[in-house]
Structure 1
Amino acid sequence: MTNRRETLVVLAAGAMLGACAAPPAPNAASPARPPLPAGLQPGRQMMLRIDGMPLSRMWVWLPADYLQAERPWPLVVFLHGSGERGTELDAVLRNGPPMHAAKGDQAPYPFVLVSPQLQDDREWEPDELHALLDALKTRFYVDPQRCLGTGLSLGGHGVWNWATRHPNDLAGIAPVCGHGDPARVAAMRKVPVRAYHGDRDDVVPLADQQACVDALRAAGGTVEFTIYPGVNHGSWIPAYQDPGLVPWLLAQKRAG
């Protein structure tokens, strides 16, 4: 008997449902509420700079009731693709969750969304992402057991590598048209994965992410893998409109 849960889907219209589930009630382990970083406003996506870090510039989306919530929020870190690297932070708004938050064309996200930017010609480094996560947990009222990563293309590669190198950082990852190192993914077998890919992708072949999915399943990991038929490298368009993605993100919680 196998634990394969692959899904071959036909593209359909629909938006990602951002308010269909709520974070759990607070508990005794809830972190203290830090002051809101200067210049940020709940209900809006705004720029934040954290000096002294390689990943210093980012977009931050805070739910409108961020300050009123009695429980800490989930945190989702989005990693962009290679085409959004550079010094123009607006480039990060071209795709994925930061685009939807900026355009306001989705239901409000019930989590803190942080979208950092890479400089030109750089790749996502797991140790830098680990350091960024530590900095974010001290600046925002977020649940350290409910930090998640998602990303597309180069960013999908980034979240696979992040979870492999620092498996205790993340409660789950949602890589889109990305891949990791199949020989090393056993280290993240306790990190649930919801992955997406197009079967016609000629930039990051489906086989590259399939190899990681298969290796993780063989190591006892939990993976949901959606393959879009006839879709090339732009699988992030349907992936970030998947009505099941946000509920899945909200359902993940790291043990311990």
Structure 2
Amino acid sequence: MLALVYVISLVCHFIVIYTMMSARFLEGLFRYTYPLVLISVVLYSISLIFSNAGRRPWLKTAGVFIFVLGSIQLLLYIWNLNTENVQVIIALQKVRSWNLLAESLLPIPFIMNFLSEKRKLEIKNWNSILSNVLIGFLLITGIAVTTTSFVLIKNSFRFSENLNNRLERAKVLAQPFEARTHVGSQGIKIPYRLLKPVDYDPNKAYPLVIGLHHGGGHGTDNALQIESSPYAQILSENEYRRNYPAFIFVPQCPPGFTWGGIPNQPDVAKVVFEAVDALEKEFSIDEKRRYVIGLSMGGYGSWHFISVRPKMFAAAIPICGGGNPDLAQNIINVPIWAFHGEKDRSVPVSLSRDMIKAIRDAGGNPQYTEFSSAGHDIWNQVNSTEGLLDWVFEQSLE
């Protein structure tokens, strides 16, 4: 019975993963189906240990093995979900890699149990061909699991190394920015970086640029969001700071949240708006020249921000994101220049196309640039778009 529960939970989990990858839907269910699979695995292992199956030494061994590995995986998942330390996340990823390697040995006790049961039967007319086929199947399964585990381990170590390198690079990129934190009215805390205009004069009003990072910038280290926001990097260069004097506000999305606009996912849009209100009370910011620029998850956030607060923003640059076409009427007067890659496999290009069409059908006139044959990584093409920064800094609320 518990084995059936495990199979059902596994099927549900794969349906969620497939739907997430193909249609960008059900993302919020992943955090429920994955631990459900792990819990059902642990329960199944307990049944192997204490049921009649446990009388067979190799099945009992398999049950203990599955219980230990499943429990470790579940603890790692819970710990990873609740930690805010990037270094801890890297360490957990490495432990998970070794756990995956141990999981590749799982078919062995089942193979040994099969061989043991075969010897006990001692039936003269035992079909040796069928026996060999079953043994071969188990061996092939074991080899496939082991190979997959090694691939996952390799990718896991590569992820950890890449994350560590990104964090070191992010610390360098974030140096020109001041590290700050804002606690929202609901207790949600977001770290952020703020770059003031060169030779800031409190008697002048300056534009505010909100840079929303992509999904790789999650955390509380208050650095990765700079590495994950190309426009924050560009606008922090001396040349651009002189040509486009402005406040550059780069919040970092906490783990488990988004900027908004992604179905079934909690967002921190309200906290960001509250942080902006606080900054405008502290500094001389032009309330008619607030701009939002975001890519990927930040692209979703850009669409979401202007859709729920259309009178707050003078312009938006959503890059390879998606929005809610039903809210198009809200943003027909917001200057928008959206970008997307035609071959984007991470965020379907149809999401940008649908938003642009809905806005135009509602009477708006957004600009849209689609890069033919380009995928998700279009930052360089966007950055090299002639006149883009001139365009955005020219925009002002009436």
Q: Return the TM-score normalized by structure 1.
A: 0.76
Q: Give unmatched runs, 5+ long, in structure 1.
A: 1-42
The structure in which a higher percent of residues are helix is: 2
Tell me which residue corresponds to 2:246.
111
The 3-state SS of whatever aligns with 1:113 is strand
The structure in which a higher percent of residues are strand is: 1
Aligned 8 A contact 1:44 1:64 in 2: no
1:122 partnered with 2:257: yes
Tell me which residue corresponds to 1:252.
395
1:88 partnered with 2:201: no
Q: Partners of 1:55 and 1:114 in 2: how far apart? A: 15
If asked which structure has higher relative contact order (CA below 8 Å, sep 6+), I would say 1
Aligned 8 A contact 1:130 1:166 in 2: no
User: 1:106: how far off?
Assistant: 5.3
Aligned 8 A contact 2:184 2:275 in 1: no
Larger Rg: 2
1:78 partnered with 2:78: no
Aligned 8 A contact 2:230 2:379 in 1: yes
Tell me which residue corresponds to 1:216.
359
Tell me which residue corresponds to 1:66.
200
**What's the RMSD between the two structures over aligned residues?**
2.0
The 3-state SS of whatever aligns with 1:168 is coil
Tell me which residue corresponds to 1:47.
179
Q: Give unmatched runs, 5+ long, in structure 2.
A: 1-174, 260-266
The 3-state SS of whatever aligns with 1:48 is strand
Aligned 8 A contact 1:81 1:151 in 2: yes
The 10-residue stretch of structure 1 (72-81 or 46-55) with the greater mean CA deviation from structure 2: 46-55
Tell me which residue corresponds to 2:329.
186
Aligned 8 A contact 2:182 2:275 in 1: no
User: 1:70: how far off?
Assistant: 4.6
User: 1:101: how far off?
Assistant: 4.5
Q: Partners of 1:55 and 1:244 in 2: how far apart? A: 36
User: 1:105: how far off?
Assistant: 7.5
**AA aligned opposite 2:283:** F
Q: Residues 64-93 of structure 1: CA distance to partner in whole angstroms, max 9, x if unpaired? A: 1222x7530111101111111012222112
Aligned-pair identity in percent equals 27
User: 1:179: how far off?
Assistant: 1.0
Q: Partners of 1:242 and 1:140 in 2: how far apart? A: 31
User: 1:200: how far off?
Assistant: 1.1
The 10-residue stretch of structure 1 (147-156 or 108-117) with the greater mean CA deviation from structure 2: 108-117
Q: Residues 24-49 of structure 1: CA distance to partner in whole angstroms, max 9, x if unpaired? A: xxxxxxxxxxxxxxxxxxx9322122
Q: Return the TM-score normalized by structure 2.
A: 0.50
1:146 partnered with 2:289: yes
